[in-house]
Every structure is written in C-alpha cells, then in structure tokens.
Chains A and B, each alone.
Chain A
Amino acid sequence: GAVVSQHPSWVICKSGTSVKIECRSLDFQATTMFWYRQFPKQSLMLMATSNEGSKATYEQGVEKDKFLINHASLTLSTLTVTSAHPEDSSFYICSARGQTRDYGYTFGSGTRLTVV
C-alpha cells in the first residue's frame, strides 16, 4: 500500500534556529501533499497544501514566511520552520494521496518539534 515516510520523528532545536522536516512518498507519486500541525489533546489543523512544482497554498492564519514549504519532486515535500520559537513546538504531520489510490489519504508518522 501507499507509504509516506516522514523525518525526523522528533527534533529539539534552540530558539531562533530553523528546522526542516521531510515528507516522502515511498511507493507512489504525490503531486499534492498536505501539512498539519497538532497541539496536545487537540485535533489536526491543516497548515498548507503543497503542490509539486508550484507554490504552496497556506491556510488562513498560517505565516508562509515562517513555514516554508518546498515540493520540488513528485515524492518529496519539505516543511522548514524558520526562526523557531517555543510556541512553534508541536507535532507536525504530512499526508499525501497517490494518483491511483482509491481510499483515503496516507499520513506520515509525524515529527515532534520541541523548541527550547
């Protein structure tokens, strides 16, 4: 079945630094990927839609200059949290849907970001 690999699974960084999270579709091509953020005991909140070869579409209230998304190939999308601050600490999850997948979306395992 469709597999989405997300790395790293957890990362700790200092305030003011940038962190890159990778999301790869392993056995299918994903022209569109989605990035979510999830705070403890809360639901997933859609941050942006990543489109291969074009600019990402950000949800209202999400700072595009802070959360840089690059979707340079059909199998890789990256989310870079720039100048991270403690309030950016969260669980980040990507998802993708292959061209031929009939049922649902496949999600990555998530990345736990802690900014200290």
Chain B
Amino acid sequence: LAKTTQPISMDSYEGQEVNITCSHNNIATNDYITWYQQFPSQGPRFIIQGYKTKVTNEVASLFIPADRKSSTLSLPRVSLSDTAVYYCLVGMNTGFQKLVFGTGTRLLVSP
C-alpha cells in the first residue's frame, strides 16, 4: 500500500481557499487517490476521489499532476464548519483493499 505524507496542520480564515497537498511517491498504476474528512467524534466522510488530472464536485477539487506522485485537495472559500481533519488515501478503486490512514491534516478555520 502506498504511503502518504501530509502536513500535520494548517490554519486558514473564513472565505479563503485552502489547498492541502499529499505526497504519495510509491503510488501504483491501479491506485486511486481518495480524500476523507473527519469531524471530532465522527467517522470519516468521503470528499472526493480521482485518478489523474483534475476532479471537481460540489465541495472540493482534486488536482493530480501527470506523475501522480502527489495530489492537492482544494477547498474553495472555507467556512468555520470546514474545521476538521483531512485524510489522503491511496488504493485500488475496486475490491476490498483495506484502507490504511496516515496522520491526516488538521485544518483550523478561524473567523
């Protein structure tokens, strides 16, 4: 399983765009990149998934360069409610491969 590296923490203010980068140098050809969000005392929640280039949904964008050794989760115009821990995971999109969580990035959004 590809190991991921993220910043431990980030600070931002309401209304700003936040970009969280994840490094996954050993990503395999069949691996997808998935980001989860976790609030205190809750289970992680799926945010976005991608394989290459750019993926956008209603809450975030995911940028993946051509070499796929890193990815960036972009949260546009964050609010206080976006304060959470964000996890980047790498693995196959099919089957039942177990998910191994890294340290995650603790995002604090201030007024």
Binary per-residue interface labels of chain A (79-116) against chain B in the complex, 1 for a CB within 8 Å, 0 otherwise: 00000000000010111010000111111111010000
Inter-subunit contact A43/B96 (CB<8 Å) = no
- DSSP class of B's interface residues: helix, strand, loop or mixed? loop
Inter-subunit contact A103/B87 (CB<8 Å) = no
* Known A43-B87, A110-B41, A112-B41; contact A103-B46, beta-carbon cutoff 8 A: yes
Q: Which of B87, B96, B101, B102 has the most CB of A within 10 A?
A: B96
Nearest CB of B to A5, in Å: 11
Complex Cα–Cα for A4 and B87 (A): 19
Complex Cα–Cα for A46 and B1 (A): 13
Number of interface residues of A (CB under 8 A): 26
* Known A43-B87, A104-B46; contact A49-B98, beta-carbon cutoff 8 A: yes
Binary per-residue interface labels of chain A (37-64) against chain B in the complex, 1 for a CB within 8 Å, 0 otherwise: 0000001111001000000000000000
Binding site for A on B (CB under 8 A): 34, 36, 41-46, 49, 87, 93, 96, 98-104
